[in-house]
Chain A
Amino acid sequence: MGMIIVTETVPATTDDVAFPVARGCPFAEPAEYSQVREQTPISKVRLQGGTEAWWVSQYAEGRAILADRRFSSDRRRDNFPIPGADKQLRERFRRQAPSLIGMDGAEHAAERRALIGEFTVKRLAALQPRIQQIVDGFIDDLLATRQHPVDLVRTLSLPVPSLVICELLGVPYADHDFFQSRTALLISRRTPEPERARAVDELRGYLGELITRKESEPGDDLFSRQIARRREQGALDHPGLVSMAFLLLAAGHETTANMISLGVIGLLNHPEQLAALRADPRRTPMAVEELLRYFTIVETATSRVATEDVEIGGVTIPADDGVIVSGLSANWDPSVFAAPADLDIERGARHHIAFGYGPHQCLGQNLARLELQIVFDTLFRRVPTLRLAVPVDEIKLKSDAPIYGAYELPVTW
Chain B
Amino acid sequence: MRIKADTGVCVGSGQCVLTGPAVFDQDDDGIVTLLVDHPEGEAADQARDAVSLCPSQALSIIED
Contacts and interface: CB of A to CB of B under 8 A. Distances in A.
Nearest to B25: A122
Contacts, number: 63
Interface residues of B, number: 21
Nearest to A63: B55
Contacts of B13: 361-362, 365
Contacts of B17: 120-122
B30 A119 contact: yes
A333 B11 CA distance: 26
B63 to A, nearest CB: 22
Interface residues of A, number: 24
B39 interface: no
A112 B55 CA distance: 14
B11 A116 contact: yes
A342 B23 CA distance: 33
B12 to A, nearest CB: 3
Interface string A336-350: 000000000000001
Interface stretch (A262-270, A351-359, A378-386, A389-397): A351-359
A67 B57 contact: yes
Contacts of A365: 13-14
A316 B57 CA distance: 24
B56 A117 contact: no
B30 to A, nearest CB: 3
B53 interface: yes
Contacts of A118: 30
A112 B52 contact: no
B33 to A, nearest CB: 11
A67 B29 CA distance: 22
A85 to B, nearest CB: 27
Interface in A393-411: none
Contact of A121 (B14, B28, B57): B14
Nearest to A366: B14
A117 B28 contact: yes
A95 interface: no
B53 A351 contact: yes
Interface string A216-240: 0000000000000000000000000
B26 A121 contact: yes
Interface of B: 11-15, 17-19, 21, 25-26, 28-31, 49, 52-53, 55-57
